[in-house]
């Protein structure tokens, strides 16, 4: 379901918006609303109303029982919310640029502690999602959004809407597609997981998450360029493609894994790869909690592919996982992102059993390959 | 039963296994569960008008996704 203004109505929508009360929103909220408009967050039509919000917190589902785990919200100050009422139409702007209209259906208060405990399973302020929640404003507004002026995106070349990716998969003849979420330059462990999935689906959909990330993460440019290098040198032509997803990481572990799966389903993927500690941070979630939660969502409409621990086995002579390798820990070398980062920071090359030389070349070409 | 639905018979033993499987889940009936399984097997194709197809194809070509 798209919530984009038809091209021939954009001018009129823009004129109408200029006469409405305008609310300034953050870049993250703009991205969320654009994702609603593109159909990435289908079936959402706008920021959650109270009943849906409370049901999402309680059950990880919308009122109509459809799976939904991450609340998509519009938070305002009391002063902002007092400028309009239920039934009004308001304009939404980001950095002074008007981009959408919102038909206001509800204004309501909320409980930050409950929110954190349900979404993040912790109220520890050291958790980045909890910290962010405490910065949010006291009034939530629910309603239906329509975007008439979507931003081109940080990397327009890689930003496709679900209707476009579905068309692309059809054109490529891919009946089954595995989605792979990433925030990293690929190492051989990633490639092993992707190719294992590719051996039983038609296509691989690499979907790097573009947006605010942790300090020390690879920059977006490095992620895109390293995947292009990996595709060129190590993947069959027409077996993989890459599209960016502009969305904030919440680090909500299991709940976010379900959210990520829903988004990939909306892109048209039939499968979604879920690794160890997907969307986790620190020690807030068990290593396989983000896989176990899928048992509660048999009606998700996308098939998860789970990977547990994978490593380089010196005796097998290549990437392996703990389900298939008979050798002991003394023969295993973990694909440690931290270790590879430390080497790269010193301008050194990780071993070729860890990272492809062409990928390393790309990283080392960048003066600052990591987020400050 | 409406004209847009048909009845299908399944073995009772299988039916009872499904009842057991969906107990405590969000499924309210065996029918709902089976419809979902079958919908996953036969997903709805996204439909495009000829004009939209041409626009998307042109954009994907321009971006290098298809030739």
Pick from A147, A166, A192: which residue ends a domain?
A147
Q: Does A163 touch chain B (CB under 8 A)?
A: yes
Q: Indicate whether A182 and A307 sit together in one domain.
A: yes
Cis amide leading into A348 (omega within 30): no
Angle at which helices A162-172 and A253-267 pack, to 10 degrees? 60
CA dist A153 → A21, A45, A165, A240 (Å): 25, 21, 16, 22
Q: Which of A163, A171, A270 sits opposite B46 (nearest CB)?
A: A163
Shortest distance, CA A224 to any CA of chain B (angstroms): 15
Q: Which of A116, A147, A178 is the last residue of a domain?
A: A147
Is residue A246 assigned to a domain?
yes
Q: Which residues of B touch A157 (CB under 8 A)?
A: 63-64
Phi, psi dihedrals of residue A131, rounded to the nearest 5°: -60, -45
**Closest-CA distance of chain A to residue B6, Å:** 22
The residue of chain B with its CA nearest to that of A302 is B40
Which residues have C-beta within 8 Å of that of residue A342, sequence separation ≥ 6? none
* Nearest CB to A168; choose among B33, B36, B60: B60
| Closest by Cα among A80, A48, A84, A87 to A66 | A48
Q: Do B66 and A163 touch (CB under 8 A)?
A: no
The parent domain of residue A84 ranges over 7-147
Looking at the structure, tell me whether residues A294 and A210 fall in a common domain.
yes
A275 and A189 Cβ atoms separated by less than 8 Å: no
Q: Are A135 and A145 in contact (CB under 8 A)?
A: no
- Are residues A226 and A188 both part of a single domain? yes
**Of A122, A147, A172, which residue is a domain's last?**
A147
Residue A19 forms contact with B (CB below 8 Å): no
What pLDDT is recorded for position A63?
A: 93
Is the distance from CB of A269 to CB of A241 less than 8 angstroms? no
CB contact under 8 A, B26 and A299: yes
- Total of domains in chain A: 2
pLDDT at residue A308, rounded to an integer: 82
CB contact under 8 A, B39 and A301: yes
Inter-helix orientation angle A128-135/A112-119, to 10°: 160
Q: Tokens 């990433």 identify what position?
A: A182
- Taking CB atoms and an 8 Å cutoff, what residues of chain A touch B66? 168, 171-172
Q: What is the pLDDT of residue A216?
A: 85
Q: Tell me if residue A349 is catalytic.
A: no
Cα(B27)–Cα(B33) distance, integer angstroms: 6
**Among partner residues A164, A268, A296, which is closest to B56 by beta-carbon distance?**
A164
Asked if A61 has any chain B CB less than 8 Å from its own CB, the reply is yes
Nearest by CB: B59 against A164, A172, A268: A164
Q: Is residue A2 situated within a structural domain?
A: no
- Residues A161 and A293 placed together within one structural domain of the fold: yes
Identify the residue among B24, B47, B63 best suited for mutation to test binding to A, counting A beta carbons within 10 A and taking the highest.
B63
Q: What is the CATH number of the domain that holds A227?
A: 3.40.50.620
Those residues of chain B that have pLDDT short of 70 are 1
Residue that has been written with the tokens 């990330």 in this structure: A213
Most B CBs within 10 A among A152, A157, A160, A171, hence the mutation to make, goes to A171
Question: Is there a contact between A168 and B53 if contact means CB atoms under 8 Å apart?
Answer: no
DSSP A370: B
pLDDT for position B1: 63
State which residues of chain A have pLDDT below 70: none
Residue A183 bears catalytic tag: yes
Distance from CA of A176 to the nearest CA of B (A): 11
User: Is A179 contained in some domain?
Assistant: yes
Which of the following is catalytic: A184, A309, A321, A334? A184
Q: What are phi and psi of A287, to 5 degrees?
A: -60, -25
Residue A371 lies in a domain: no
Residue B66 to residue A172, Cβ atoms within 8 A: yes
The verdict on residue A372 lying in a domain is no
């Amino acid at each position: 379901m798209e919530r984009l203004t038809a091209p021939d109505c954009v001018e009129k929508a823009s004129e109408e918006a200029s006469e409405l009360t305008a609310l300034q929103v953050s870049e993250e909220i703009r991205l969320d609303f654009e994702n609603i408009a593109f159909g990435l967050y289908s079936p959402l039509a706008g920021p959650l109303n109270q009943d849906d919000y409370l049901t999402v917190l309680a059950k990880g589902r919308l009122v109509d029982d459809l799976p939904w785990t991450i609340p998509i919200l519009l938070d305002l100050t009391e002063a902002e919310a007092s400028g309009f009422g239920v039934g009004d139409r308001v304009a939404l702007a980001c950095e002074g640029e008007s981009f959408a209209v919102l038909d206001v259906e509800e204004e309501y208060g909320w409980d930050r502690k409950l929110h954190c405990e349900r979404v993040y399973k912790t109220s520890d302020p050291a958790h980045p999602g909890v910290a962010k929640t405490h910065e949010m404003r006291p009034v939530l507004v629910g309603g239906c959004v329509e975007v008439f002026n979507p931003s081109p995106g940080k990397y327009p070349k890689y930003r496709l809407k679900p209707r476009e990716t579905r068309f692309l998969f059809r054109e490529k003849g891919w009946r089954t597609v595995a989605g792979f979420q990433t925030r990293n330059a690929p190492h051989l462990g990633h490639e092993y997981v992707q190719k294992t999935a590719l051996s039983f689906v038609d296509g691989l959909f690499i979907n790097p998450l573009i947006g605010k990330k942790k300090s020390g993460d690879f920059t977006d440019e490095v992620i895109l360029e390293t995947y292009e290098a990996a595709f060129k040198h190590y993947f069959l032509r027409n077996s993989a493609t890459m599209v960016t997803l502009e969305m904030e990481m919440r680090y909500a572990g299991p709940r976010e894994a379900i959210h990520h799966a829903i988004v990939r389903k909306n892109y048209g993927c039939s499968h979604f790869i879920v690794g160890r500690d997907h969307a986790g941070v620190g020690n807030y979630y068990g290593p396989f909690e983000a896989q176990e939660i899928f048992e509660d969502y048999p009606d998700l409409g996308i098939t998860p592919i789970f990977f547990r621990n994978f490593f380089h086995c010196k005796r097998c002579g290549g990437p392996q996982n703990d389900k298939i390798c008979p050798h002991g820990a003394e023969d295993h070398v973990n694909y440690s992102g931290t270790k590879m980062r430390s080497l790269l920071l010193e301008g050194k090359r990780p071993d070729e059993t860890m990272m492809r030389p062409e990928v390393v070349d790309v990283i080392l070409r960048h003066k600052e390959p990591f987020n400050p | 039963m409406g004209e847009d639905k048909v009845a299908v018979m399944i073995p009772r033993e299988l039916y009872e296994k499904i009842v057991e499987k969906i107990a405590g889940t969000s499924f309210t009936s065996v029918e709902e569960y089976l419809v979902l399984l079958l919908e996953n097997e036969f997903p709805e194709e996204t439909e495009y008008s000829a004009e939209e197809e041409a626009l998307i194809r042109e954009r994907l070509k321009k971006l290098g996704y298809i030739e």
